[in-house]
Amino acid sequence: MPDTFDVIVIGGGPGGYVCAIRAAQLGLKAAVVESRGALGGTCTNVGCIPSKALLQSSHLYEEANHSFAAHGIKVSKVELDLPTMLARKDDVVKQNTQGIEFLLKKNKVAYIKGFARVAKVQTGAHQIAVKDDKGTETTYVTKYVVLASGSEVTPLPGITIDEKQIVSSTGALVLSKVPKTLVVIGAGVIGLEMGSVWRRLGAEVTVIEFLDFILPPMDGEIRKQTQRILEKQGMKFRLGQKVTGAKTGKDGVTLTVEPAKGGAAETVTADVVLVAVGRRAFTTGLGLQEAGVTVSKRGFIEADENFQTNVEGIFAIGDVIGGQMLAHKAEDEGVACAEILSGHASHINYDAIAGVVYTWPEVAGIGKTEEQLKEAGIAYNVGKFPFTANGRARANGDTDGFAKILADAKTDQVLGCHIVGPAAGDLIMEVAVAMEFGASSEDIARTCHAHPQLGEVVKEAALAADKRALHI
């Protein structure tokens, strides 16, 4: 008799493992199938967590090199020990993946190691076949299936990723030495975060971007300011250009680059090239076609607002259904999906999901951008406040950037907030809570903010939305 579950989640990333834990909390017999050999998905193993470990280490290295002197701290020689930095990152990943394994045990969620596919569709008793690393296939039966298989790197035509000279975000986490020159293709989140790491460690970094601006989903003014700050740090940008080919050789990589709008091609050389032009849904080998699960033209599994696919009892969450490819979006979908499977009502407010870029300063945005409000014809007030006018930012010696709040002109409800500045990712969370409660900018302005705090920038931006900022 095969093992039987109420819910089998395919994929142990932030969407999948959280979904299984929540399902177990609600009394369902749950299992997670994962083929990577470690839980936590792309985010924990080769994404969010290792990149943040390197961002933190490289930030400290840069501070020691360039900021200590102004604080009256003399250091005679700052040396980079890259192997130790990389080993520390691996250790951080291990602590996180093992932590997730512990959480599954604690919640009595079965952890099935192997690659899963939907083997037979049978309402109330779907069959999932799992192949382990020795090639042995075991079948499990489950009432519900949750597809949480995540995403993979989008390839760029004409460019072969070898993870040595031409790397994806995964290869960019394990470079054995600092390249003299690094070209990043794509000025999105990965490009700017990993580009920052290697620039801080000493690489000359040039970012080539197809569009005329960086960080496409962010607010326009924030994008411009972020570019200026990153340029000041030494990062170079070639905007409105596309890479059409790459040749690798002993001396590095030669890229063919053309203006995006057409024109003469030229070559650009680099020791290492990072391809970061986006990610696409991962659905290969899951048996979706055989199961009759509808996949969109762009490759995403189609699911309704209850995460139900077109096949009864088969659900999908996270990167594989599209939308913002963010771990925290996947996590919240996992919780909501488990609650729906358990007969509860649950939903996600997609208007209050923050996006954060962990450069320094950080970049964070939530809700609507000014461009989106203009396009929708919504009248709004805008309040802005710079970090240069914040006492704590000055005390920290960290004054680049500003915060901006967008509020409905009629109701004063907060419609969006965008920040480039120190700890922007943490600061934006008070606005996330405010937006969840349908708060007005006056609500934020009248909330007593402790002094001296970077968060006073958010309060002052809220005051500025009513033209009554106090400290500028």
Amino acid at 189: V
Find the shortest distance in angstroms from Cβ 281 to ligand NAI. 11
Number of residues that bind ligand NAI (CB under 6 A): 25
Nearest-angstrom CA–CA distance, 87 and 120: 43
- The DSSP bridge partners found for residue 4 are 141
Closer of 186 and 386 to ligand NAI (Cβ): 186
Q: Which residues contact 158 (CB under 8 A, 6 or more apart)?
A: 243, 244, 245, 246, 256
Nearest-angstrom CA–CA distance, 31 and 43: 20
- Return the residues of window 214-233 that contact ligand NAI according to CB under 6 A: 216
Closer of 197 and 462 to ligand NAI (Cβ): 197
Find the shortest distance in angstroms from Cβ 190 to ligand NAI. 3
281 binding ligand NAI? (CB under 6 A): no
Which position among 344, 347, 451, 471 bears the catalytic label? 451
Q: Which of 56, 110, 210, 239 binds ligand NAI (CB under 6 A)?
A: 210
- Return the residues of window 141-160 that contact ligand NAI according to CB under 6 A: 156
429 binding ligand NAI? (CB under 6 A): no
Find the shortest distance in angstroms from Cβ 81 to ligand NAI. 26
Find the shortest distance in angstroms from Cβ 138 to ligand NAI. 32
Amino acid at 109: V
> SS3 helix, strand, coil % of the chain, rounded to 5?
35, 25, 40
Q: Which stretch binds ligand NAI (CB under 6 A): 3-11, 140-148, 183-191, 374-382?
A: 183-191
As a whole number of angstroms, the longest Cα–Cα distance in the chain is: 72
Residue among 321, 310, 313 at smallest CA distance from 348:
321
- Return the residues of window 330-359 that contact ligand NAI according to CB under 6 A: 356-358
Contact 461, 384 (CB under 8 A): yes
Q: Which stretch binds ligand NAI (CB under 6 A): 275-283, 336-344, 399-407, 464-472?
A: 275-283
Q: Which of 325, 406, 427, 463 binds ligand NAI (CB under 6 A)?
A: 325
Residue 71 among the catalytic residues: no
Contact 355, 368 (CB under 8 A): no
209 binding ligand NAI? (CB under 6 A): yes
Q: Which stretch binds ligand NAI (CB under 6 A): 30-38, 172-180, 190-198, 390-398?
A: 190-198
Closer of 112 and 431 to ligand NAI (Cβ): 431
323 binding ligand NAI? (CB under 6 A): no
Q: Which of 46, 172, 175, 185 binds ligand NAI (CB under 6 A)?
A: 185
Residue among 292, 306, 295 at smallest CA distance from 336:
306
Contact 254, 269 (CB under 8 A): yes
Q: Which stretch binds ligand NAI (CB under 6 A): 93-101, 203-211, 344-352, 450-458?
A: 203-211
DSSP class of residue 424 equals: H
Nearest-angstrom CA–CA distance, 411 and 156: 46
Strand pairing class (137-147; 314-316): parallel
Q: Which residue is associated with the tokens 């014809």?
A: 377
Strand pairing class (110-113; 30-34): parallel
Q: Which stretch binds ligand NAI (CB under 6 A): 24-32, 232-240, 270-278, 332-340?
A: 270-278
Find the shortest distance in angstroms from Cβ 173 to ligand NAI. 11
208 binding ligand NAI? (CB under 6 A): yes
Q: Which two tokens stand for residue 131?
A: 């192949």
Which helix (DSSP H) or strand (DSSP E) does residue 207 occupy?
strand 204-209
Residues that bind ligand NAI (CB under 6 A): 156, 185-191, 193, 208-211, 216, 242-243, 276-279, 325-326, 356-358
**Residues designated as active site:** 451
